[in-house]
Amino acid sequence: MNPLPRHLGLPVSWEMLASHLDEAGFLWRQWRRALVAPDHVLDEVARVEARLLAHLDALVLAGRGAATRLLMPALVEADEPGRGECAALGLLLQEEGREAAVRSVLEVLQAGEEGPCSAIHAALLCARGRGLESWLRPMVDASPSPRVLSALLEVLGVWRVDPGPALEASFSHEAMQVRAAAFRCLRSWPARLSDSTLEVGLRASSAEVSGAALEVGLLAGSRLAWWECRRQVRRGGPHRQLAMGALAVAGGPDAQKSLLEGLGDASRGAETLRVLGLLGTSEAARACLEAMREPSWAPLAAEAFALVTGMDVPAVGPGEDGGGMAYEPEADLPLPEVSRVEAWWAERASRFNPASRYVRGLPLGQVSLLDALRDGAMYRRRSLWWAVALRTRGALGLRAGAWTRVQRAEEDAARRLPPARFAQSLEGGLGAGGGA
């Protein structure tokens, strides 16, 4: 037998390993913040991610001893955001004693404690592959607790692994969180959504269920879902923000009229500005410019204006402090220098055809939309992913919270799709989508 490599024969520094776990937990929080931050682009997120993965690698290389003595206790405690997630990832990625490590994580998951369950759920979303689906599929069929079943359904959906017959049964589960998870799982296969299942979901007393049903219905191109969108906007339902975003992506005169009316209502102004950039018309740009004169709306309005026009909006100062524990990315949007934006628009407004739609100053299409996704700030990335998902009817496993390498691979896959996939009607043949 060959002797162990010299570095593996050295004494274990538990203090150093604990430091790796602490640093990984800190960087996990930084990474999650960066994924939605207006002051980061994908390359900057990748740099934070690389540091996080380096600490995770150190924990994995430490082997079985670190898994037992350090990672398992940290997972069971899950007393600090990021630390439990990294402990779970370190265990799921183990090479030495892998089977025992994975089994120990899944035993903690099955116990159903909220903190560890949440940490394992987040870790599993990042740990796709390595044969883990063969562990999770049997757990779904074993009728676990609602908390565990909902986590399993969502994870398998993100992995695009069919949960089997249990998925259909979950739409009528007594626990609303399981029903909602079933609809979220189906986002990977929206064509399988039946009208009857969607209707039951939309009428559910739980807002979590009806919101998840509406989202997958939109991905399926269901006319029922699009009618529900218009109803939500008209009546101010709990999913009005989701509905407004979908109408902005769909475009068309009716959608534009409905959205612009929202700027006349103080209770809807911020909601409208969050999605108005996706509309992409010169009229939307003018409305954003007008909204910039209202200080409380100015950062959101400037961000939407930039998405339509491509202007690098000059700032007069930072936004509010968004650095608390519960990070609010909109608080980091900068305050625009409105007078310079007005001068810029006065010079260039005539270049924008009122009958066309734009993204970052270019006619809206497959390439321009995906370029905006690639180059834009992370704050806008989630809504642009949603636009791509709607236009392609959920053909891709788009997830703005995935590792950056996964996000880039999905973007490359989107570029390889036939252009016709981006030009189809969003509303299942109604032809009311407004075109590109």
* Range name among 145-159, 206-220, 288-302, 416-430 with the lowest pLDDT average: 416-430
Confidence band for 130, pLDDT divided at 50, 70 and 90: confident
pTM: 0.91
Within a domain: 228 = no
Write down the pLDDT at residue 46.
Answer: 97
Within a domain: 356 = no
Whole-number percent of the chain with pLDDT over 90: 80
CB-CB contact of 366 with 415 (8 Å): yes
Write down the pLDDT at residue 143.
Answer: 85
Rounded to the nearest 10 degrees, the angle between the axes of helix 223-235 and helix 207-219 is 130
307 has pLDDT over 50? yes
Counting the structural domains of the chain, the total is 2
Write down the pLDDT at residue 435.
Answer: 43
Domain end point (choices 105, 127, 149): 127
Write down the pLDDT at residue 187.
Answer: 95
Q: What is the pLDDT of residues 263-283, one digit of tens each?
A: 988 889 999 999 999 999 999
Within a domain: 412 = no
Within a domain: 101 = yes
Domain end point (choices 350, 383, 399): 350
11 vs 136: which has the higher pLDDT:
136
Mean pLDDT of the chain: 91
Write down the pLDDT at residue 431.
Answer: 34
Within a domain: 143 = no
Within a domain: 17 = yes
Rounded CA separation 103/106 (Å)? 5
Write down the pLDDT at residue 409.
Answer: 94
427 has pLDDT over 80? no
375 has pLDDT over 80? yes
Confidence band for 12, pLDDT divided at 50, 70 and 90: low
Write down the pLDDT at residue 97.
Answer: 85
Within a domain: 151 = no
Rounded CA separation 187/215 (Å)? 8
Q: What is the pLDDT of residues 349-366, one digit of tens each?
A: 999 999 999 999 999 999
Q: What is the pLDDT of residues 27-45, one digit of tens each?
A: 999 999 999 999 999 999 9
Confidence band for 318, pLDDT divided at 50, 70 and 90: low
Name the residue range of residue 122's domain: 1-127
Question: Average pLDDT in the 52-72 region?
Answer: 93
Q: What is the pLDDT of residues 84-125, one digit of tens each?
A: 999 999 999 998 888 999 999 999 999 989 999 999 999 999
Within a domain: 161 = no
Write down the pLDDT at residue 78.
Answer: 78
Domain end point (choices 315, 350, 385): 350
